[in-house]
Amino acid sequence: MDERKVRWGFLIDLRKCIGCQTCEVTCKMENGVHLGVWRSWVKKVEKGAYPRTTRGFLPLLCNNCEKPICVTVCPVNANQQRPDGIVTFNPHRCVGCRYCMASCPYEVRYLHPLKRIVEKCNWCHHRIDAGLRPACVEACPTGARVFGNLMDPDSEIRRLMAQHHVSVLQPEMGTQPQVYYIDYDEEVFATKRPFRWKWR
Amino acid sequence: MDAGVTKLLYDVHHQTTFAWLISIYFYFTGLSAGSFVVSTMSYGFGMKMYKPISRIAVITATMCLMIAPIALLMQVGWPIRSIWNHFAYLNFHSPMTYGAFLLVGYPVVCIFYALYMFRDNARMTKLLGSIGIPTAIATHGYTGFILAFGKARAYWNTALMPTLFLVSAIVSGLALMVLIVMIIFRFIKQERRVPADIVEGLAKILAWAIVVDLFLTFCDIAVLSISHEGAQEMAWLVLGGGFTPLFVGVENLIGKVLPMIVCFVPALRRNHLALAIACALVVIGIFFMRYVTVFGGQVLPLM
């Protein structure tokens, strides 16, 4: 039995997501994410043909897994898991070997183009520690993103998870991801960019 | 997924993580481990006929190991910081931590082993050779563990990977040694004559090593092709997709099957020009094995 008081979790209600990418822009502003890389983004997929057609959105961000593979493989302990579950990166210790990028099943890590270290979404832990919510949760115009304590039975995230079917991405990887989705569409996830051959 | 039903409008892809430089690094550690095995044949395993090439082999092993970490340090973002941090902050769950120690320890063993060999100190040479063999195997085997621990990638995440890497290291090292021995004895040494028994003996061992390598590759791909969805996509990529020319053509047909035939057929093996070409093909083919494994293993998008 988990004895922790706090385990942060993230819930995205895809019924409310309108694909406006406000979360993407807010994240860039809050964390100073470099040009050309993203910590959080919205995958957009068009489904069907003309009369019967729709768009599917899948906001993606770091899952801050319960069993993070990036923490296991980091040779210099730059990635560490806090007691409340958030996986942090240490910019002063990372050597830019990119092993964590290669092993992350969610491809949410990126190499900072100038600093040459690997960064990722950390659920704005500087804001959480100050008692605020993550920037993308704060900015979401439809309230699709919910952030809260999974150990607290009265929290909004626990209440929503108790009332709805929730899914996580790639549970078969065994990392126990902690970003939950309501109304998750497998087809949107399975539509991937085509493979292009590049000699590099 | 059927492209006519769904269409991707927007997604983010950052970069392909490991590419040429890591392939070169794996390739040279493999060559080094293979050459080291050849150099210990006479001292460690008692095959006295290979004594004349032990010195050439140990020099090759040391030289290859000097090139390998250069490629590695060019790959990492902070080379100087990485040298310090790998020893200052240890994470014993990561294979790369052990690699840092091996990459420092193995050259030292190599250099002292060479030193005693050149001084004709048989006892110390044998001692250091028996220390060096596990070190050489570990130095290359850990690279297989690095890939096997990248569990998101179906092509890497197999228990076969360290063994596959070791066998292909021995294959490439043997082929490189045959090639170098031929060049040195033909063009540099006084007698201007290739020692036929040594070269053909190595070729016979090479042929059997290639058989093992082909068998392991077959096991890997066969299991991959009926495993989960990502694994099947990967098997399709190397057997009938973008990587087929490199994987089937260069790596397996030109790099393994053709040289294996040359090494097995006595008439072809005695033709030293054919043997030299076969060994050059093996050395090229194993490079593409590294490239297909490292780069091909991660080109398929996961998200």
- What is d(CA A79, CA A96) in angstroms, rounded to the nearest whole number? 12
- What is d(CA A177, CA A170) in angstroms, rounded to the nearest whole number? 8
Please check whether residue A145 lies inside any domain of the structure.
yes
- What is the predicted pLDDT for the residue at B1? 44
Please check whether residue A179 lies inside any domain of the structure.
yes
List A149's β-bridge partners, or say none.
A8
Chain B residues with CB-CB distance to A191 below 8 A: 1, 6-8
> For strand A166-167 and strand A179-182, is the pairing parallel, antiparallel, or unpaired?
antiparallel
Contact between chains at B152 and A173 (C-beta distance less than 8 A): yes
- What is the predicted pLDDT for the residue at A106? 92
- What is the predicted pLDDT for the residue at B223? 94
Give how many domains chain A has, as a whole number: 1
pLDDT tops 60 at residue A84: yes
Please check whether residue A80 lies inside any domain of the structure.
no
pLDDT tops 90 at residue A50: no
- What is the predicted pLDDT for the residue at B109? 92
Of the partner residues A75, A77, A191, the one whose CB lies closest to the CB of residue B6: A191
Of the partner residues B4, B91, B99, the one whose CB lies closest to the CB of residue A76: B91
- What is the predicted pLDDT for the residue at A199? 55
Q: For residue B134, what are its two tokens?
A: 């596990």
Please check whether residue A131 lies inside any domain of the structure.
yes
Average pLDDT over residues A141-161: 94
- What is the predicted pLDDT for the residue at A166? 95
Residues A91-129 have pLDDT tens digits of: 999 999 999 999 999 999 999 999 999 999 999 999 999
Residue ranges of chain B with per-residue pLDDT less than 50: 1-3
- What is the predicted pLDDT for the residue at B122? 85
Task: Give the helix/strand (H/E) hosting B219.
Answer: helix B196-224
- What is the predicted pLDDT for the residue at B162? 93
Report yes or no: B2 at the A interface, CB cutoff 8 Å.
no
- What is the predicted pLDDT for the residue at B4? 61
Task: Read off φ and ψ for residue A168, nearest 5 degrees.
Answer: -120, 165
- What is the predicted pLDDT for the residue at B61? 93
* Residue in B closest to A114 by C-alpha: B77
pLDDT tops 60 at residue A175: yes
Q: For residue B38, what are its two tokens?
A: 């050849």
Contact between chains at B100 and A192 (C-beta distance less than 8 A): no
Which of A70, A73, A93, A189 best probes binding to B when mutated, by most B CB atoms within 10 angstroms?
Answer: A73
Task: Read off φ and ψ for residue A126, nearest 5 degrees.
Answer: -65, -35
Task: Read off φ and ψ for residue B257, nearest 5 degrees.
Answer: -70, -50
- What is d(CA B290, CA B33) in angstroms, rounded to the nearest whole number? 15
- What is the predicted pLDDT for the residue at A200? 47
- How is chain B split among helix, strand and coil, in percent rounded to 5? 80, 0, 20
* Exposure b/e, B245-257, CB count within 10 A at least 16 = b: ebbbebbbebbbe
Sign of CA dihedral A184, A187, A190, A193: negative
- What is the predicted pLDDT for the residue at B300? 87
Helix (H, G, I), strand (E, B) or coil at A12: strand
Task: Read off φ and ψ for residue A45, nearest 5 degrees.
Answer: -135, 135
CATH number, domain at A33? 3.30.70.20
Please check whether residue A172 lies inside any domain of the structure.
yes
Report yes or no: B20 at the A interface, CB cutoff 8 Å.
yes
Of the partner residues A38, A99, A111, the one whose CB lies closest to the CB of residue B96: A99
- Nearest C-alpha of chain B: how many angstroms from A81? 13
- What is d(CA B220, CA A40) in angstroms, rounded to the nearest whole number? 35
Range of the domain at A173: 8-66+123-190
Chain A residues with CB-CB distance to B4 below 8 A: 49
Measuring CA to CA, which residue among A182, A43, A68 is closest to residue A122?
A68
Chain A residues with CB-CB distance to B97 below 8 A: 75
Domains and CATH numbers, chain B: 20-298 (1.20.1630.10)
Contact B175, B40 (CB under 8 A): no
- What is d(CA B21, CA A155) in angstroms, rounded to the nearest whole number? 49
Please check whether residue A75 lies inside any domain of the structure.
no
Q: For residue B161, what are its two tokens?
A: 């990977």
Please check whether residue A130 lies inside any domain of the structure.
yes
Chain B, window 112-131: residues with a beta carbon less than 8 angstroms from a chain A beta carbon: none
Counting one residue from A and one from B, how many pairs have CB atoms under 8 Å apart? 166
- What is the predicted pLDDT for the residue at B33? 93
